[in-house]
Structure 1
């Protein structure tokens, strides 16, 4: 019986460990945001990478974030709330993408 209880305790211990937050890279290069659509979860970190020779932004249409990226630099943001967020570059409005954030 004690072996069975140990197995059950182990299962509950594993279930109680919170999932580790992910880091997701989004690249801006040649006036394109890639990937254009990303799924993530609240608590995940987005690493924005600008590989172009000019500045870009990642500006949420709903106001959730506004990240400025100098040329050849990166920045990070932690996702704080669920929802679908369309965003774009203020300097190059044709650069558009979507983040789908799950709870």
Structure 2
């Protein structure tokens, strides 16, 4: 027979394991033909708000081909990070706009 005190302890341990980490939202802005921040960090599952404050369309195009986000002028586009790694990206329309995103597992 199991002592009565073991069941509440097991229940408390199981409840603690079911709590998951909250995903973050990271904002990356295109303004005056500059990506800010130029280097950002995030985790898999985090959301990126790509904010285009310019009157021009921009993209966030990963050099490794992982993603190609199109941003109309004065709009915000959202994406969720699905893969870890360090990704250099740029704007296809304005190749001098470059940045780096490091995604942890």
Shorter-normalised TM-score: what interval? Answer: 0.7 to 0.9
Note the residue ranges of structure 1 that are not aligned, 5 or more in a row.
none
Note the residue ranges of structure 2 that are not aligned, 5 or more in a row.
none
1:6 Cα deviation from its structure 2 partner: 5.9
- Normalised by the size of structure 1, how large is the TM-score? 0.88
Match of 1:49 in 2: 51
Kindly name which structure, 1 or 2, has the bigger radius of gyration based on alpha carbons: 2
Alignment of 1:6-85 (within 5 A): 10=12, 13-85=15-87
1:13 Cα deviation from its structure 2 partner: 2.9
Question: Residue 16 of structure 2 aligns to a residue in which SS?
Answer: helix
Distance in 2 between residues matched to 1:17 and 1:68, nearest whole Å: 35
* Deviation sequence 1:13-38 (CA, Å, 0-9, x none): 33431101111110000010001111
- Normalised by the size of structure 2, how large is the TM-score? 0.86
Quote the RMSD (CA, aligned, Å): 1.8
Distance in 1 between residues matched to 2:34 and 2:8, nearest whole Å: 53
Match of 1:94 in 2: 96
